Amino acid sequence: VIGVTIVALGTSLPELATSAIAAKKKNADIAIGNIIGSNIFNIFFVLGISAVIRPLPTYPNFLLDVAMVIISSLLILIFTHNKQYTIKRWHGAVLLAVYAIYLYFLLSNL
């Protein structure tokens, strides 16, 4: 779990850097598009190609991971469905808290 988390962090650093710089420069469309686009590409294209090459067995915590994808997608949908179409700071704090809870569940199931 720790190794996978470190790998996930390492592969996400380019998106984090790009989105952080774009947000700092007030280019929200680039910041959001980079993250959402990267995730959509990874889920559909990379996972799809990988499964076409060889069937991918799942693992016991797979349902937790899928649930987190669904929860995060629903939260982003809810957060962006406001008059300003803005993901606010407190929304970001909620997303970070949900990720911390997810990590807690992962680590507690070791």
pLDDT digits (tens, 9 = 90+) for 11-53: 888 899 999 999 999 999 999 999 999 999 999 999 999 999 9
Distance from C-alpha of 22 to C-alpha of 35, rounded to nearest angstrom? 11
Based on DSSP, count helices (H) and strands (E) in the chain, helices before strands.
5, 0
> 82 vs 18, 34, 71, 77, 78, CA distance in Å?
25, 21, 18, 10, 8
* Global pTM value: 0.80
Instruction: Copy the structure tokens of residue 30.
Output: 């680039």
Could you tell me the pLDDT band of residue 1, with boundaries at 50, 70 and 90? low
